[in-house]
Amino acid sequence: MLFTINPNDGLPIYRQIMRQVKHAVASGRLAPGDKLPSQRDLASELVVNHLTVKKAYEVLEAEGIIATERGRGTFVAAGVPDDLRARGLRDIKARARDLADAAQLMDLDFKEYRKLTDEAWTERRKEKGERT
């Protein structure tokens, strides 16, 4: 995944890194077992002090979102914590609302709308199934 930071943001940089990891985990872009960049690599990618990345990883680890395995690296922990899942659901709900708005704006009826969402569901499932 690609990280970005913005020093003009009111959030400290370590919190910006944490927010992005949490968001990616909540939305499923990062799945349990996925590897995160090493502290050193992420620090040079973002051009920030490596201790800042270390701090972000340490807090994420304490919150149970990631886990470090000595010599192997840092991974997304198994079992997404409940509050993150709730946040993910809220996010999906908001997007579903946007999708419904867009469909209604185009005057689709419910059947047409369902056809599109069902197709997308099956398609994505199949693509993922074939990849693994």
Partner 1 sequence: MNVVEFENVTRAYPKKVMALRGVTLALPEGAVCGLVGRNGAGKTTLLRMIPALLHPTDGVVRVFGLDPWESQEEVKRQTGYLSENEVLPNTVRIRDMTDLCASLYPNWDARMAGDLLARFGLEPGRKLGALSKGQNRQVGLLCAVCHKPRLLVLDEPAGGLDPVARREFLEVVINLLADAGSTVIFSSHILSDLERVAQRLVVLHEGLILLDRPVDELKENICRVEVAGGIPAGAKELLSGRKGCFHAVQKDGALRITLACAPDEATEFLKRLLPEAPDIRAGNAVALSLEDIFIELTGGRL
Residues contributing to the site for partner 1 (CB under 8 A): 7-15, 40, 43-44, 46-52, 55
Residue with smaller CB distance to partner 1, 6 or 132: 6
d(CA 49, CA 102): 43
Residue with smaller CB distance to partner 1, 38 or 68: 38
In three-state secondary structure terms, 15 is: helix
In three-state secondary structure terms, 30 is: coil
Q: Are 113 and 65 in contact (CB under 8 A)?
A: no
Residue with smaller CB distance to partner 1, 42 or 76: 42
- Find the shortest distance in angstroms from Cβ 39 to partner 1: 9
